[in-house]
Amino acid sequence: MLLLRCCHSLTRFGPLNTQRHKVTPAVVSCAVRLWSSSSSEDRGSYQRSYGPRWRHGLAGLLAGSGAVLAYGLHHHKAEQQDSITVQTIEKTSAFPIISQEEVTTHRSLEDGVWVTYKGGVYDITEFVAMHPGGDKILLAAGGALEPFWALYAVHNQEHVLEMLSEYKVGELSAEDVKKQKAIKTSDPYSTDPERHPALHINNLKPFNAEPPPELLSDSFITPSAIFFKRNHLPVPQVDAASYQLHVEGLPGGVLTLSLEELKTRFPKHTITATLQCAGNRRSEMNKVKQVKGLNWGIAAISNATWGGARLRDVLLAAGYSPDVAQRAFHVQFEGLDKDVSGTTYGASIPLNKAVNEEGDVLLAYEMNGQDIPADHGYPVRAVVPGTVGARNVKWLGKIIVSAEESTSHWQQNDYKGFSPGTDWDTVDFKSAPAIQELPIQSAITVPTDGAVVDRSSEEVTVKGYAWSGGGREVVRVDVSLDGGKTWQVAQLRSSEKGQAPEPSPPPGRAWAWKLWEVTAPLPAEAQELEIVCKAVDNSYNMQPDTVPPIWNLRGVLSNAWHRVKVVIREDNNEE
């Protein structure tokens, strides 16, 4: 970027070569065009000048590294005179019009890292090389900055915008700006909400996506924007003012509540609970033998703080006293999401879970302290902690107390586990119970499979998550660097970094995951690491070591030891 002001002391990567960034006033008006039209050979030459420093210098700009930005700002302000020159250039220069197609081609250090922001196009290639941090910035490359900055409020400040303005190379074409806002009204999914571009999409319609693993383990509480999305049907448009929740079923109880009544008539309870899709880690079963279902990686799981009325309190208000258990065994949920025939999504849970004071089942209207987002069930959803995500029905419209399970397809003919020997010719869905509580689970989020670790770093840090269904607390995570020959115990975390650890929950009410981490020296002779993790809960349930014995035709309940392979890059520096 020709307008870059180099902050030599900002970076540990050494000073950048500033010679080709000196621009005289006579040619400054066309400076922005020169970089835009520079050859890939020029860019490649620049990258080669800095070698590995590029790979390790990707910024915290989008990763929320407020301290890094503050440090950069100190040096930024120290060069006020140069800043005035840049601002004058921007006010007097006419920027070229650039298409989104062109922006999309700049998604790597080799091709340049371009982003858009409020109709402007910015080349931040050289900026990212100046700042220490992770490679999360590349998640925004070729796309818009706004969704990433929404996650990290530290960037929504004037001085950060001033820094960004220095890297502007053009304006996004009016046609592409319109395309971003265009809605195809004939599409039943046209009113679905916008989603964060960092999400890995497994299916577009209905929308199903998971966050990158490295983002998943950044926070104990998963930001709503990157909480995994599992939709079976179009997201319904629900008017909160006219919303009604109907409670009915066996004789003796009928109740209709508005959203306001749900909020004011019943005490609000708050729980932190992890939700996991039954198909989490299905991709590992696909490697054994093809299954039917979305090809989820390891991130169809997330953790949030939920607020709402207890289902138990609402059932009591509807006239269902504790003795209802003598007549009913299930509580059915019906969503407001419908298919083209008008069939709604439905599921059910055991009545004992619903009415138990320690079951903590919520009719939730808040997620992470705010109204539940549309993708997660606005205005009200069921949160059934410790239970498979499929029973946590979103956009809740009806609750039915019944002697029978829900007759919904998703309760009767899906989300059930079978023997590895059962195939689609022999499967009988009536022969297996619907999944409720999920088994013990853990996975490695950092490093990812195929990552490269430099020998000079001397050690490797491994991070991940662990969780068990039914309120069983994870008490240990074992990690191996040699495929399971030797093991060490990871450090568990049940709060955000820097915060005091949460006390252990009461027995049977451990609804939230544990994040874990271990740092270990690199084995002296190893050229490759096979990193493995396995978790243990307080009932001493453990994960199976391999996938084949638990393979099933729907690819659910995938919880074998998680394995990633990492290459150790030797130091080849010769004097």
Integer Cα distance of 193 and 150 in angstroms? 15
Catalytic residues: 131, 155, 230, 277, 415
Integer Cα distance of 361 and 384 in angstroms? 5
Give φ, ψ of 261 to 5 degrees. Answer: -65, -40
Burial 488-520 (b: 16+ CB within 10 A, else e): eebebbbeeeeeeeeeeeeebbbbbbbbbbbeb
* Triad 387, 227, 468: Cα angle to 5°: 30
Tokens of 173: 């074409």
Give 55's Cβ-side CA count (13 Å radius).
Answer: 7
Integer Cα distance of 198 and 43 in angstroms? 26
User: Cβ distance 560 to 532 under 8 Å?
Assistant: no
User: Cβ distance 20 to 90 under 8 Å?
Assistant: no
Q: Tokens 């609750």 map to which residue?
A: 399
Q: Which residues, including other chains, have CB under 8 Å from residue 417's CB and lie 6 or more apart?
A: 432, 435, 552, 554, 556, 557
Integer Cα distance of 209 and 21 in angstroms? 41
CA-to-CA separations, 450 to 29, 91, 528, 565, 571, in angstroms, rounded = 45, 46, 10, 6, 18
Q: Which residues, including other chains, have CB under 8 Å from residue 511's CB and lie 6 or more apart?
A: 271, 272, 273, 274, 360, 385, 386, 471, 505
**Long-range pairs for 287-293: beta carbons < 8 A, 24 or more residues apart:** 287/547, 288/547, 288/548, 288/551, 289/551, 291/551, 291/552, 291/553, 291/554, 291/555, 292/424, 292/553, 292/554, 292/555, 293/554, 293/555, 293/556
